[in-house]
Homo-oligomer: A and B are copies of this chain.
């Protein structure tokens, strides 16, 4: 495998794991992060801390962007000390955020105009899988863009789906996954809330559902948080306010109705405005009145 000089911008829960995977695979890794000290902390075990995206871009042939949303990606590329103007012609920008697919499609064109390659590459799997290199990437891009980052995607992800020969389908599949994830979390909360309202033991309900046709990945994962009364945000309520919003924006652009996604979005907004915005997304269950949720073990 060819060894690359690769930059990772954004060292949050996902980005730091992905940068670590690239380092383990033997690539020379350049990192930067808006939070002071984050890049230096990473570089202590190998790699080069950079002060800003431009400084990073000058030293790399590929950049992996793992920031929160499209707005931050715009800043990383086109803001003060942005990467776009500093990237070498023929290098590649790998965009891992969850964004409006139409924005991602447009970004491919904007970068091509600068002589840069682009991979639409949202990620899934959570921090633990990012750290172990076992996460999933939902990618789309032109053949030349894939050629420009040969071996890099596979170094970060156990499963690299190639979903299209131009940008767009990676982000489309990602937001469809978020549609399901969001509806399933809200449905899990609604089902658990009804069980509590009806006097069913929460642990028994969890045991039965996780062994029945009503199960979902999200029910199994998130209702464990509710049973422990642990609303420490692994993924926060406001992430689904954002992601279901992206889903609805995308569908609205072609006037396509999404009855369940719009209902779930309302539930997350209700939870957010009621004061649970930064709690774990399973805290959407707190919108249900007239029930007593499980309490933390003493």
Which residues of A line the B interface, CB within 8 A?
Answer: 101, 124-126, 136, 138, 159, 161, 163, 169, 172-173, 176-181, 183-184, 186-188, 190-191, 193-195, 197-201, 204-205, 207-209, 211-219, 221, 247, 250-251, 254-261, 263-264, 266-267, 288-290
Contact = CB atoms under 8 A, between A and B. Distances in A.
Given A101-B198, A176-B191, A180-B209, A264 B260 contact: yes
B163 A219 contact: no
Number of copies: 2
A235 to B, nearest CB: 10
Contacts of A263: 259-260, 263
Contact of A125 (B200, B213, B215, B255): B213
Contacts of A177: 208-209, 212-214
Contacts of A126: 213
A159 B219 CA distance: 20
Contact of A163 (B159, B161, B186, B204): B204
B208 A218 contact: no
